[in-house]
Structure 1
Amino acid sequence: MPGLDNLGTGGPIIALLAVMSLFSLAVIAVKILRLLPVTSGRAARDQALADWAKGNKTQAQTQVASGRAPADRVCAYAMQSLIDGFKGPALMAELTRRGNEEFAAMNTMIRMLELIAMIAPLLGLLGTVTGMIQSFQELELAEGSANASVLAGGIWQALLTTAAGLLVAIPAAVGASLLSGRAERGAQAIENAVGRLMVIEERAPG
């Protein structure tokens, strides 16, 4: 594998793509760890909602508050607010705000992965175009007497940037898609838990 100094105009672009690749892989690893618990605790929430429906409100709130998922945090706040007598449109507005904050936190840095997936192939293409320009300039300066192997070497070095751009973009695109889907499932868990809680509360006698 040649050094970056042997890649001509593509060298700096390859270096930039390498940095982007390391950054995107680090972001993917961090986001996987942070998003692991967002869909957890459904069975515990179901049990807590069953306890709430039976009138064991404090026990239900305590059980949900011990969870790690965003749905647990929002649901625990909703239960505590209802216990304290805070209800109605004001409570729903606050729960919506908290749910949006949780969803925004789950989506942090995913946009960056999407950006990398979009610009990495363009950077690779830029490297290829500039490399091809350089190769044909050398051919022109040689007035047609350039060695074909030299020209071919310049062309493959130029095309290398396109391959590097795709190698960076594909994992970033896949990671962004999968992580975004998990964040959406976490948001759905929040809506499901809070919605069920409010239905139970509305149907409660008195």
Structure 2
Amino acid sequence: MLSELSLSLPAFLLPVADLIAQGGNVVAIQVVMSVVALALVFAKVLQFALSGASRYARSRQALGLYLDGDTTGALARVTGQKGMMSEVLALLLKAQTRPGGARPDLLREDIERICMGKIAALRSWLRPLDLIAQTAPLLGLFGTVLGMIEAFQAMQGAGAAVDPSVLAGGIWVALLTTAVGLAISIPVSAAVSWFDGRIERTQQEMEAVVTAFFTGAAAERAAVLPAHLDVIQGGSRHAV
């Protein structure tokens, strides 16, 4: 039945069908996992692009304007701009310029709540990706063990008339599941690590900008605000 189905598949899917035919149900499950992982990776890349998680230039410029006393110019710089940092800074500036203002402690606590929500949104669906990265090689090892059991059972049943070529064929098919599992796990693990790095960098930037907004960057206002807020990031931080 599988051979008949493979005849109706597009040419680029024929190697996948052959792989499933050789590896059995375990490889079929791994192929499904790889498709899910690929879809999640593309979805996360699109999410990062649309959220503007790595766009820091405007927020840094606006922060510099605000610290120099130009609140109106700072607000104009980030209002309506895409990017998490621009959105966060726009909320802070609007709250600051609202008649009556807002209590700094309450404002800071609330902006931290908003930042945590944005970071949590960036972390969505990373757990399923990490689960696939960890499970795929284990599932491959499970398939290999099952294949080896079948191979040695066949060898025991053949007795003295065992054919080494048949045994070798059974073993390489069994090892195929482990190879497929590793082929899935390695790139997915790399993708999860890259996403984690981007999220950590965004969180650090949020913490630096929010801290500088409320402290006035007191430790560095004698000099020009650096392009990277490394001094602020190295100081004491509040969880965002």
TM-score, length of structure 2 as denominator length: 0.76
Identity %, equivalent residues:
36
Structure 2 counterpart of 1:44, one-letter code:
R
CA 1:183–1:12 in structure 2 vs 1: closer, same or farther (change >3 Å)?
same
- Quote the RMSD (CA, aligned, Å): 2.1
Match of 2:180 in 1: 164
Match of 2:236 in 1: none
Q: How many residues align?
A: 200
Q: CA deviation at 1:128?
A: 0.1
Match of 2:65 in 1: 51
For each residue in 1:62-118, what CA deviation from the matched residue of structure 2 results, as whole angstroms up to 9, or x when unmatched? 321333221211111111111120132211111111111111111111222111111
Following the alignment from structure 2 to structure 1, what is the Cα–Cα distance between the partners of residues 205 and 217? 18
SS in 1 for 2:194: helix
Kindly indicate whether the alpha-carbon contact (under 8 Å) linking 1:24 and 1:113 is maintained by their aligned counterparts in 2.
yes
Structure 2 counterpart of 1:93, one-letter code:
E
Q: CA deviation at 1:141?
A: 1.7
CA 1:5–1:175 in structure 2 vs 1: closer, same or farther (change >3 Å)?
closer
SS in 2 for 1:62: helix
2:83 paired with 1:69: yes
Following the alignment from structure 1 to structure 2, what is the Cα–Cα distance between the partners of residues 32 and 172? 13
Structure 1 counterpart of 2:124, one-letter code:
T
Match 1:96 to one of 112, 116, 141: 112
Kindly indicate whether the alpha-carbon contact (under 8 Å) linking 1:39 and 1:189 is maintained by their aligned counterparts in 2.
no
Unpaired runs of 5+ residues, structure 1, are none
CA 1:146–1:5 in structure 2 vs 1: closer, same or farther (change >3 Å)?
farther
Following the alignment from structure 1 to structure 2, what is the Cα–Cα distance between the partners of residues 194 and 168? 39
Structure 1 counterpart of 2:81, one-letter code:
G
Kindly indicate whether the alpha-carbon contact (under 8 Å) linking 1:71 and 1:190 is maintained by their aligned counterparts in 2.
yes
Match of 1:148 in 2: 164
TM-score, length of structure 1 as denominator length: 0.88
2:188 paired with 1:175: no
Kindly indicate whether the alpha-carbon contact (under 8 Å) linking 1:38 and 1:68 is maintained by their aligned counterparts in 2.
no
2:121 paired with 1:105: yes
Q: CA deviation at 1:146?
A: 2.5
Kindly indicate whether the alpha-carbon contact (under 8 Å) linking 1:117 and 1:168 is maintained by their aligned counterparts in 2.
yes
Unpaired runs of 5+ residues, structure 2, are 1-14, 220-240
2:31 paired with 1:18: yes
Q: CA deviation at 1:46?
A: 2.4
Following the alignment from structure 1 to structure 2, what is the Cα–Cα distance between the partners of residues 139 and 122? 26
SS in 1 for 2:81: coil
Higher relative contact order, chain-length normalized (CA < 8 Å, sep 6+): 1
Of Structure 1 and Structure 2, which has the larger fraction of its residues in helix?
A: 1
Following the alignment from structure 2 to structure 1, what is the Cα–Cα distance between the partners of residues 31 and 154? 27
Match of 1:28 in 2: 41
Alignment of 1:117-156 (within 5 A): 117-156=133-172
Match of 1:191 in 2: 207
Kindly indicate whether the alpha-carbon contact (under 8 Å) linking 1:4 and 1:12 is maintained by their aligned counterparts in 2.
no
Following the alignment from structure 1 to structure 2, what is the Cα–Cα distance between the partners of residues 105 and 135? 48
Kindly indicate whether the alpha-carbon contact (under 8 Å) linking 1:125 and 1:161 is maintained by their aligned counterparts in 2.
yes
2:18 paired with 1:3: yes
